[in-house]
Amino acid sequence: MAGIIALLVIDPSSDDTPAAPKPKIPLDVWAPYWVLEASVAELPDRVGSMREVSPFWFNVTGVRSIEVDPNASTELTRDFMRIARTEGATLVPSIVDALPAGGMASILESEERRERHIDALVAFAEEGGYDGLDLDYEQFAFADGRDTWEATRPNWVAFVEELADRLHADDRTLTVSIPPIYDGEQSATSGFWVYDHGEIIDHVDQMRIMAYDFSVNEPGPISPIDWVESSVAAVVEVTGEPDKIVLGVPAYGRNWAVATTGDCEGRDLQGVTTVTNRTVDALATRRDATPEYVAETAEWTFEYPLSVGGNRSDCVQTRVVHYVDADGVRARMDLARQYQLSGVSLWAFGFEDDEVWDEILPTVDDGVQEAPASTTSEEAGQE
């Protein structure tokens, strides 16, 4: 079993340093490995505003195997953990199901394999000195097929209950990061009922609802605000415990090709890419595009042509971008406050810019803000 075990470092700084401001609603963050260069640099100034920090580079690769993602930088992950511990962060690492389709379902269906996997998770938490664990097990929901859900659901519930008991006995917490549901049924339109939100709520300490990725393969909004609210309302109704629900809030978007003109045979055509709050304004400026705010979704969008193949213009892609900007982060935080949720969780630390932090941290006006007329961030970024 692989992992990063960081020593506790005592902070020698004086008590004269002012405490970081707290958000108006508790803030958790996921911290993915691919933006650590940015997040490591900013962690000392931001960590005091965070309730829980979830390092996002640990993968389940077998029943007893939890490994650091091979693409994660050893130096940056080490630095992140050192700073987080020095600053007294509550560390709840995310554990991602990186098994092939059917792998996790196979573990969960066997009491013996389930017990061995729980042993591995408990040992991982103990050896790392973590405050809890966050389970991000998505394969059985997205890769296995809906026809498997009926069989997987009770096994997942049993697993969550058994793992929670073990972690709680060690004074550690259990969080689950799961997609939303839209009602309390088990129909094709009910959302991801395989997680049985209502049944596991008594066992978990926090349930993070990943209310984003509404559009992935096809162009469209990332997290339309009406959909977010319907998801929150359904989860609250089914669980009856809003004080355990954490709303996942995106600070990113996607960039799709929607049309291609000209002679593009043999060209290296760009597929779907990701933008973040740090990169999207620079992209719009570089492509001479004008973002437009869409009130119905509380998101922004713009379109631009992309010439493929150097200076030649005989192959052109039309690309469209949808993204949640700082005002959209605020709108979703307002929803979490409206429904009296436990908090929000930002996807992700390292995606956001200063304007997002301006919305996260306390201001004089606690009301829902109007969408600005245009984006103003000058953060550098890449397409």
25-53 tens-digit pLDDT: 999 999 999 999 999 999 999 999 999 99
**Domain assignment present for 272:** yes
**Domain assignment present for 95:** yes
**Domain assignment present for 89:** yes
Cα angle for residues 150, 153, 114 (degrees, 5° grid): 130
Residues 171 and 274 in one domain: no
Express as a percent the part of the chain with pLDDT over 90.
85
Residues 116 and 244 in one domain: yes
Residues 214 and 312 in one domain: no
Residues 356 and 308 in one domain: no
Q: How confident is the model at residue 2 (pLDDT cuts 50, 70, 90)?
A: very low
Residues 88 and 168 in one domain: yes
Across the beta sheet with 315-323, the strand order is 273-276, 252-262, 315-323, 299-307, 292-294
DSSP 63-75: TTEEEE-TTS-HH
Contacts of 326 by beta carbon, 8 Å cutoff, 6+ apart = 277, 352, 353, 355, 356, 358, 359, 377
**Domain assignment present for 381:** no
Residues 289 and 185 in one domain: no
Provide the residue range defining the domain that includes 306: 254-322
**Domain assignment present for 371:** no
For residue 370, is pLDDT > 50? no
Amino acid at 69: D
Start-to-end CA distance of the chain, whole Å, equals 37
Angle (deg, nearest 10), helices 111-128 and 149-169:
40
Pairing of strands 299-307, 315-323: antiparallel
Give the whole-angstrom CA distance, residue 294 versus residue 276. Answer: 18
Amino acid at 342: S
Give the whole-angstrom CA distance, residue 122 versus residue 170. Answer: 9
Query: What's the domain count of the chain?
Result: 2
CATH number of the domain residue 109 falls in = 3.20.20.80
For residue 187, is pLDDT > 90? yes
Residues 341 and 215 in one domain: yes
Helix (H, G, I), strand (E, B) or coil at 181: strand
Q: What is the mean pLDDT of residues 276-302?
A: 98
* Contact by Cβ (8 Å): 284, 303: no
Cα angle for residues 168, 49, 69 (degrees, 5° grid): 60
pLDDT (tens digit per residue) in 125-161: 999 999 999 999 999 999 999 999 999 999 999 999 9
Residues 156 and 227 in one domain: yes
* Contact by Cβ (8 Å): 327, 338: no
Residues 133 and 39 in one domain: yes
Q: What is the mean pLDDT of residues 217-238?
A: 98
**Domain assignment present for 288:** yes
Mark residue 180 as left, alpha or beta (left: phi above 0; alpha: psi -120 to 50; beta: remaining). beta
Residues 264 and 234 in one domain: no
Residues 279 and 216 in one domain: no
Q: Which two tokens stand for residue 170?
A: 């060690």
**Domain assignment present for 311:** yes
What average pLDDT does the structure give for the chain?
91
For residue 376, is pLDDT > 70? no
Residues 180 and 226 in one domain: yes
Indicate yes or no: pTM above 0.85: yes
Q: Which of 322, 348, 371 is the last residue of a domain?
A: 322
pLDDT (tens digit per residue) in 311-352: 556 899 999 999 999 999 999 999 999 999 999 999 999 999
Max CA separation in the chain (angstroms):
66
